[in-house]
Amino acid sequence: MNKLMLILLLLPALAIAADGTLQVQTQAQKEVTVVTDEGEEQTRLVPVTTVVPGDEVIYTITFTNVGDQVAQAITITDPVPAEMRYIDGTAFSAGAELQFSVDGGDSWGVAEELIVSDAEGKPRPAQASDYTHIRWVMRHPIKPGQRGYARFKAALR
């Protein structure tokens, strides 16, 4: 089963071939530390199974150009689930500009620009836990057969 999935992941362009089409997957994983037979500690990503409040989940969005045209101006938008709290500094993607939203995706800015209202209605700088959406604006197009990914960590509230 694993081998089959690996082959599918390696050859996505062959799986579905439609013009200029991106295929997007989102995975939720947890980081676990395992001890190998040699006694070494290794960090691995495993599918999310047991999650209780406080646990961290790593979301990985993989986008693959399964068409025959170059895909340009790629923007990935992912809502942080309402039950999760984005962990500051964990959003990452090679060659992307990061933007965040604190109002459900209506307005966007880089982290330093965002303002929210506190309990008394006074404005204060937004914290990572205020983010409702994350956006990656990719600086580069991807060619047919290429793939990119975006990733962030969030903790279950």
Partner 1 sequence: MLKFRVQILHRAGLVSALLALIFAVPAMAAGTDPGGTRAGTSVLNQAQVQYQVNGVAQTPVLSDNDSDPNNGIAATEFVVDRKLDLLVAESSLGYNSASTASVAPGQTGVVLAWTVTNEGNQVQDFLLTVNATGFDPFGGTDNFDATASGVFVDVDGDGLYDPLVDTATFIDELDILESRTVFFVADVAANRVDGDIAAYVLDAQVAEGGGAGAQGAAITTDSRTSADSTLGIEDVFADGENTNNAGDGLRDGIHSAEDAFRVAAAVLTVVKSSTVISDPFTCPGGVCPPGEFPKAIPGAIVEYQISVTNAAGGSQATNIVIADDLSSEMGGASPTLAFVADQYGASGDIRMVFTPAAGAPNTTDMSEQADADAGQFIANTVTVNNLTLSAGDQADVRFRVEIQ
59 three-state secondary structure: strand
Kindly indicate which of the ranges 33-41, 47-55, 113-121 contains the residues binding partner 1, using the contact rule CB under 8 A: 47-55
Query: What is the longest distance spanned by two Cα atoms in the chain?
Result: 57
> What does the alpha-carbon distance between residue 135 and residue 137 come to, in Å, rounded to a whole number?
6
- In sign, the C-alpha dihedral spanning 121, 124, 125, 126 is negative
Terminal alpha carbon distance of the chain: 33
- Choose, by CB under 8 A, the member of 51, 108, 145, 147 that binds partner 1: 51
> What does the alpha-carbon distance between residue 26 and residue 73 come to, in Å, rounded to a whole number?
20
104 binds partner 1 (CB under 8 A): no
Q: Which residue has the tokens 């989940």?
A: 57
* Number of shown-chain residues binding partner 1 (CB under 8 A): 59
Q: Looking at the DSSP assignment, which residues form a beta bridge with residue 97?
A: 137
Q: Whose Cβ is closer to partner 1: residue 9's or residue 117's?
A: 9
Min separation Cβ 57 and partner 1, Å: 7
121 binds partner 1 (CB under 8 A): no
Please count the residues of the chain: 157
Interface of this chain with partner 1, residues 54 to 83, rule: CB under 8 A: 54-57, 59, 61, 63, 67, 69-79, 81, 83
139 binds partner 1 (CB under 8 A): yes
> What does the alpha-carbon distance between residue 68 and residue 52 come to, in Å, rounded to a whole number?
43
Min separation Cβ 46 and partner 1, Å: 9
- Choose, by CB under 8 A, the member of 44, 45, 95, 124 that binds partner 1: 95
Min separation Cβ 90 and partner 1, Å: 6
- Which of 95, 103, 154, 102 is closest to 127 using CA atoms? 102
| Residues at the interface with partner 1 (CB under 8 A) | 8, 15-16, 19-28, 47-57, 59, 61, 63, 67, 69-79, 81, 83-84, 87-96, 139-140, 150, 153, 155-157
